[in-house]
Each structure stands twice: as structure tokens, then as C-alpha cells.
Structure 1
Amino acid sequence: MATRRIPMLSLEAAKVAAEGAQEKAKQMGMDFNIALVDGTMQLLHFVRMPNAKLTSIQISIDKAFTAAGHRSPTSAYQNKVFLPGGPAFGIHNSNGGRFMIIGGGIPIEVDGVTVGAIGVSTGTPAQDIECATAGVEAVNAFVKRKSGSKL
């Protein structure tokens, strides 16, 4: 077979993730930049809450880009392997400087397949992760409700 079908995050599901992340942000009393990419790392949906840091816009997009491209949370890169002297030091300069090693990017998986990712930025890495996790959980609940439907 010369081609294959790859499940992708839909715009509808991306909006569900953004809404879930925004709800968590409101509970936290913070505003965030929230980016959703599809499985090919292309921006699908973006929300900038009113008081989110302007300098965090691209960071949120790049966190989603990294999480989708490596099918791993960006928080996985916060260890000594990626610090000066570590065997992967400098990886953050790859992909035109878009590779993020700061927590807040989480892949979105459906049936074990990475269909996209969410990237959140403005708070601390722990706050960004908390908000992003709420977005992933919202998509998981959406998929369960739609069971059998296309993403």
C-alpha cells in the first residue's frame, strides 16, 4: 500500500480541548495562551485569554508542536539529559528553535495514536501542565461521548 490513513484531531475536538483548558484556567484564576495542533504539528486552534503573556503566544504553539512531533509531553525533557553537559544538550535549538523543553505541551492520544497536542503557556511549568492536562481530559471525555465518531 502506498498510502495510509492517519487519525487527526478535528477542529471540533480542538475547541473542546481549548474550552477544557480555559475552564481550568478560570478555576486557577489565571489567563493562558492555549494552542492545539494536529498530528502533523500544524496549528489547528489557538486561544489567547485576555491577560495571557504576549511573549508566551509562540511558546504555547511550540510546546504543542514538540509534544505532537515527539509524541511525548514537553515536561519529559526537563532532566539532566537536556541540560548543559547532557547528551542531548542543545536539542532546544533544533527545528528552527521550536523544540520546547519546558512543561506545558501534552500529546493527545486516541486509541494509542497521537492525533494532536495541546500547548499551554503563561504560568509556571506546573501551572501550564495543569491547564494543558484539563484540555486533554476534555478531549478524552469528548471521545467517550462520541464513541465511534470521527475526531
Structure 2
Amino acid sequence: MKTKAMLTQNEVTAILNAARTEAQNNGWAVTIVVADDGGHPLALERLDGCAPIASYIATEKARSAAVGRRETKGYEDMVNGGRNAFLSAPVVCSLEGGVPVIVDGQVVGSVGVSGVTATQDAQVAKAGVAAIAN
């Protein structure tokens, strides 16, 4: 039987704090979602001034990064490269800004961010993931 790490509230808090700091240092109003390895939200934080729709989009980015086991930028690149079928794929958000949390080669969760440009969303998500990188 295999075993793997799991996110606890300590890691979730560290991820949120690092992502929030990155966003606030850049003056970006975003929503940050941390999800478990099945894409289920463990925490959601919408910073002041962020549009309500970002909560939905960040959640879908986190879900897609977790269950797809890859950054959502990969899906966006596929669509932009002409694979339009991914636009109708279930449980796939084809927008950059979802990043898996990988520990010992296993996806243990993800971070989804929405509210600014795709590259900026990804920057905030990656800052959160880096808070617990081993």
C-alpha cells in the first residue's frame, strides 16, 4: 500500500499567507483557493476589491490543477494551440493560475488564484506553493 503526505491546516495557512503577501506586495486584489488532492476547497480568501466572480474561477483553477495533476497553464496552452475540445472537458479550467502542490513526487493539493492577469495569478499561486516546498 502506498502512503503520501496530506495538507494540514498548518500548510494551508502557510500557503494562504505567502500567496496573500505576494498579491498585496504587488497591489493585486485576488481570490486565493487552496484545495486538497481531489480538488476540494480547504480554504478560500478573497482580498478586498476583488470581483466576486474570481471566487468561482479560482476554485475551478484549484480543482483542475489538483485532479489534472498539472498547472492549468498547460490546458490554456492546448486551447490556444488549437485543441478547442478542451473548452468542453469536464472539470477542467483552461485558464492559467492553478498550480498543483507536489510533495515527494505526489500531488497533495493545489492553489488557484484569480483576479488579475493570468501570469500574475500564476505568480501568486506559485508563491503560495513555494511556502511549503521541500
Provide the TM-score with structure 1 as the length reference: 0.81
- Structure 2 regions of 5+ residues with no counterpart? none
The one of 27, 30, 50 aligned to 2:28:
30
Q: Which amino acid aligns with 1:90?
A: A
Deviations along 1:101-146, one digit per CA (max 9) or x if unpaired, are 1110000011111000000000000110111111011122xxx5xx
**Equivalent residue, structure 1, for 2:79:** 82
The one of 117, 123, 131 aligned to 1:124:
117
Task: Work out the number of aligned pairs and report it.
Answer: 134
**Equivalent residue, structure 2, for 1:148:** none
**Equivalent residue, structure 1, for 2:43:** 45
**Equivalent residue, structure 2, for 1:92:** 87
Deviations along 1:50-70, one digit per CA (max 9) or x if unpaired, are 111111111000000000111
Deviations along 1:70-105, one digit per CA (max 9) or x if unpaired, are 1100011222x3248x3x42323232xx41111100
Deviation of the 1:7 alpha carbon: 2.8
Deviations along 1:10-59, one digit per CA (max 9) or x if unpaired, are 22211210110000011111111000110111111111111111111110
Contact 1:11 1:45 in 2 (8 A): no
The one of 106, 109, 129 aligned to 2:102:
109
Return the alpha-carbon distance in structure 2 between the equivalents of residues 130 and 23 of structure 1.
12
Return the alpha-carbon distance in structure 2 between the equivalents of residues 91 and 6 of structure 1.
30
Larger Rg: 1
Instruction: List, as ranges, runs of 4+ consecutive aligned residues in structure 1 with deviation greater than 6 Å.
Output: none
Return the alpha-carbon distance in structure 2 between the equivalents of residues 77 and 34 of structure 1.
20
Provide the TM-score with structure 2 as the length reference: 0.91
**Equivalent residue, structure 2, for 1:17:** 15
Aligned CA RMSD, in angstroms, stands at: 1.7
Return the alpha-carbon distance in structure 2 between the equivalents of residues 29 and 83 of structure 1.
29
